[in-house]
Structure 1
Amino acid sequence: MRLLVRFLFISIMAGVGLAAGVLLMVPAARALTGAIRFRSGHAVVELDQLSLRSLVYDRNGKVMATLHAEENRSPVSLSQVPPQVVDAVLDVEDRRFFHHPGIDIRSLLRAGLTDVNTGTVRQGGSTITQQLVKNSLLTPQRSVHRKFREAILALRLEDTMSKQQILERYLNTVYFGNGAYGLQAGAETYFGTDVGHLTTVQAALMAGLIRNPQGYDPIRHPEAARQRRDVVLDEMVAGGHLSQGDADRLKLEPLPIKVVNPSPPDDYFVEEVKQRLLDDPRLGDTATARYNAVFRGGLQITTTFDPDMQQKAQQSVRDQLPNSDGQFTAALIAVEPSSGAVRAMVAGADFASAKYNLATSRGGSGRQPGSSFKPFVLLAALEEGHGVYDPVDGSSPCTVRVKGYPPYSPKNVEGEANGPVTLLNATAHSINCAYVRLGASVGLDRIVDMASRLGIPRSKLTPLPSMSLGTEEVSPLDMASAYATIADDGVRHEPRFVEKVVDRNRHVVFEGGDKGKQVVSAQLVREAVLAMRAVVQYGTGTRAALSDREVAGKTGTSENYENAWFVGFSPQLATAVWMGSPSGNVPMRDVGGIRVFGGTYPAAIWHQFMAGALQGLPPLAFSAPNPDEIPPPEPLKVAPPVRSRPTTSLSSPPPARPASTLPAPTPTAPPSVPTTATSSPPTSLGPTSTTRPRRRPPPSTTNGNNQP
Structure 2
Amino acid sequence: MSTGHMGRRTVLHAAPRTRPANRGRRPLSPGRAARRPPRRRRWYRRPGFWVGLLLVFVLVSLTIGGAIVYAVATVPLPSALDTTPTVVLDTRGREIGELYAEATREDVELDQVPEHTRQAVLAAEDAQFYEHQGVSLPGIVRAAVRNVRSGEVRQGGSTISQQYVKTITGDTDQTAMRKAREAVLAMKLEREVSKDQILEWYLNTIYFGRGAYGIQAAARAYFDKNVGELTPAESALLAGFIPAPSASDPVDNPERASERYGYVIDQLLAQEWIDRGDAADLRARPPEVTKRAKRRSGTAPFFMDMVEQELAERLGTAQAYRGLTVKTTLNLRMQRAAERIYKERFDQLRAELRAQDTDVKVPTGALVSLDPSNGAIRALVGGRRYARDQYNLATGGPDRLGRQPGSTFKPWALAAWIADGKSPESRLPGPATMTFSAEQSGDPTGWEVSNYGSAGYGSVTLREATWKSINTVYAQVALDVGPSAIASLAEDAGIASTLDPNPSIVLGAEEVTPLDLAAAYNTLASGGVAHTPQTISEVRRDGDVIYEPSTDGRRVLDTDVAWTTVDVLRGVIDSGTGTAAQIGRPAAGKTGTTQNAADAWFAGLTPDLTTVTWMGYRDSNEPMPGSPTGGGFPAELWAEYMTEALANTEPHDFPEPTGDLEIVGEVAPAPTTPPEPEPEPEPEPSQPPPEPEPEPEPEPEPSGPDPDAGQQDGPDGDPPEGPPDGDPPGDPPADGPDDQEPNADAAQGVGEARLADSPPDGNPPHDDTA
Q: Normalized against structure 2, the TM-score is what?
A: 0.51
Residue matched to 1:46: 75
1:70 offset after TM fit, Å? 6.8
Compute the RMSD of aligned alpha carbons. Answer: 3.4
Cα pair distance change 1:389/1:47, threshold 3 Å: same
* Equivalent in 429, 438, 441 of residue 402 of structure 1: 441
* Equivalent in 323, 326, 343 of residue 298 of structure 1: 323
Amino acid at match of 2:384: A
Matched, 1:359 2:408: no
Matched, 1:439 2:461: no
Residue matched to 1:21: none
Residue matched to 1:635: 665
Matched, 1:315 2:353: no
Residue deviations 1:155-174, cap 9 Å, x none?
x99xxxxxxxxxxxxxxx9x
1:210-609 equivalences in 2 (<5 Å): 264-266=295-297, 267-280=301-314, 283=315, 290-295=316-321, 297-321=322-346, 322-323=349-350, 324=353, 327-362=362-397, 363-400=399-436, 401-457=440-496, 459-503=497-541, 505-511=542-548, 513-547=550-584, 549-588=585-624, 590-591=625-626, 595-609=627-641
- Alpha-carbon distance in structure 2 between the residues aligned to 1:44 and 1:342: 43
Matched, 1:615 2:647: yes
1:306 offset after TM fit, Å? 1.4
Residue deviations 1:98-121, cap 9 Å, x none?
xxxxxxxxxxxxxxxxxxxxxxxx
Matched, 1:625 2:657: yes
- Alpha-carbon distance in structure 1 between the residues aligned to 2:596 and 2:518: 23
Structure 1 SS opposite 2:433: coil
1:298 offset after TM fit, Å? 2.5
Structure 1 SS opposite 2:369: strand
- Alpha-carbon distance in structure 2 between the residues aligned to 1:487 and 1:40: 53
Structure 1 SS opposite 2:310: helix
- Alpha-carbon distance in structure 2 between the residues aligned to 1:327 and 1:581: 8
Structure 1 SS opposite 2:477: helix
Cα pair distance change 1:615/1:657, threshold 3 Å: farther
1:448 offset after TM fit, Å? 0.8
Cα pair distance change 1:399/1:38, threshold 3 Å: same
Q: Is the 8 A contact 1:541 1:555 kept in 2?
A: yes
Q: Is the 8 A contact 2:418 2:661 kept in 1?
A: no
1:303 offset after TM fit, Å? 1.0
Q: Is the 8 A contact 2:311 2:319 kept in 1?
A: no
Q: Is the 8 A contact 2:458 2:747 kept in 1?
A: no
- Alpha-carbon distance in structure 2 between the residues aligned to 1:39 and 1:329: 61
- Alpha-carbon distance in structure 2 between the residues aligned to 1:486 and 1:573: 11
1:502 offset after TM fit, Å? 1.1
Q: Is the 8 A contact 1:557 1:597 kept in 2?
A: yes
1:263 offset after TM fit, Å? 8.0
- Alpha-carbon distance in structure 2 between the residues aligned to 1:421 and 1:529: 19
Q: Is the 8 A contact 1:565 1:597 kept in 2?
A: yes
Structure 1 SS opposite 2:445: coil
Amino acid at match of 2:641: F
1:653 offset after TM fit, Å? 4.0
Q: Is the 8 A contact 1:52 1:72 kept in 2?
A: no
Cα pair distance change 1:678/1:428, threshold 3 Å: closer
Amino acid at match of 1:463: P
Amino acid at match of 2:458: G
Q: Is the 8 A contact 1:67 1:264 kept in 2?
A: no
Cα pair distance change 1:683/1:402, threshold 3 Å: closer
Q: Name structure 1 gaps, 5 residues minimum.
A: 1-36, 74-135, 138-152, 158-172, 174-178, 182-261, 284-289, 637-650, 661-674, 687-708
1:677 offset after TM fit, Å? 8.9
- Alpha-carbon distance in structure 2 between the residues aligned to 1:43 and 1:373: 62
Moved runs in structure 1, 4+ residues, more than 6 A?
A: 37-44, 70-73, 675-679
Q: Normalized against structure 1, the TM-score is what?
A: 0.55
Amino acid at match of 2:317: Y
Q: Is the 8 A contact 2:102 2:295 kept in 1?
A: no
- Alpha-carbon distance in structure 2 between the residues aligned to 1:264 and 1:407: 51
- Alpha-carbon distance in structure 1 between the residues aligned to 2:308 and 2:586: 36
- Alpha-carbon distance in structure 2 between the residues aligned to 1:345 and 1:337: 15
1:64 offset after TM fit, Å? 2.4
Q: Is the 8 A contact 2:94 2:332 kept in 1?
A: no
Structure 2 SS opposite 1:598: coil
Amino acid at match of 2:100: H
Residue deviations 1:100-157, cap 9 Å, x none?
xxxxxxxxxxxxxxxxxxxxxxxxxxxxxxxxxxxx99xxxxxxxxxxxxxxx9xx99
1:386 offset after TM fit, Å? 1.1
Cα pair distance change 1:51/1:41, threshold 3 Å: closer
Matched, 1:64 2:96: yes
1:51 offset after TM fit, Å? 2.4
Q: Name structure 2 gaps, 5 residues minimum.
A: 1-65, 106-167, 170-188, 194-204, 206-210, 214-292, 355-360, 677-743, 755-770
Cα pair distance change 1:50/1:630, threshold 3 Å: same
Q: Is the 8 A contact 2:430 2:747 kept in 1?
A: no
1:72 offset after TM fit, Å? 6.6
- Alpha-carbon distance in structure 2 between the residues aligned to 1:422 and 1:346: 37
Amino acid at match of 2:479: A
Residue matched to 2:716: none
Q: Which has the higher contact order (CA 8 A, sep 6+)?
A: 2
Q: Is the 8 A contact 2:402 2:512 kept in 1?
A: yes
Cα pair distance change 1:632/1:38, threshold 3 Å: closer
Structure 1 SS opposite 2:519: helix
Structure 2 SS opposite 1:414: helix
1:480 offset after TM fit, Å? 0.8
Deviates more, 1:50-59 or 1:40-49: 40-49
Q: Is the 8 A contact 2:328 2:538 kept in 1?
A: yes
Residue deviations 1:474-516, cap 9 Å, x none?
111011111111011111111011111112x422123354221
- Percent of pairs identical after alignment? 34
Count residues with an aligned counterpart. 424
Structure 1 SS opposite 2:612: strand
Q: Is the 8 A contact 2:368 2:381 kept in 1?
A: yes
Structure 1 SS opposite 2:305: helix
Q: Is the 8 A contact 1:72 1:180 kept in 2?
A: yes
1:410 offset after TM fit, Å? 2.2
Q: Is the 8 A contact 2:421 2:662 kept in 1?
A: no
Structure 1 SS opposite 2:387: coil
Structure 2 SS opposite 1:623: coil
- Alpha-carbon distance in structure 1 between the residues aligned to 2:648 and 2:668: 38
- Alpha-carbon distance in structure 1 between the residues aligned to 2:340 and 2:72: 63
Structure 2 SS opposite 1:55: strand
- Alpha-carbon distance in structure 1 between the residues aligned to 2:441 and 2:747: 24
Cα pair distance change 1:516/1:377, threshold 3 Å: same
1:21-32 equivalences in 2 (<5 Å): none
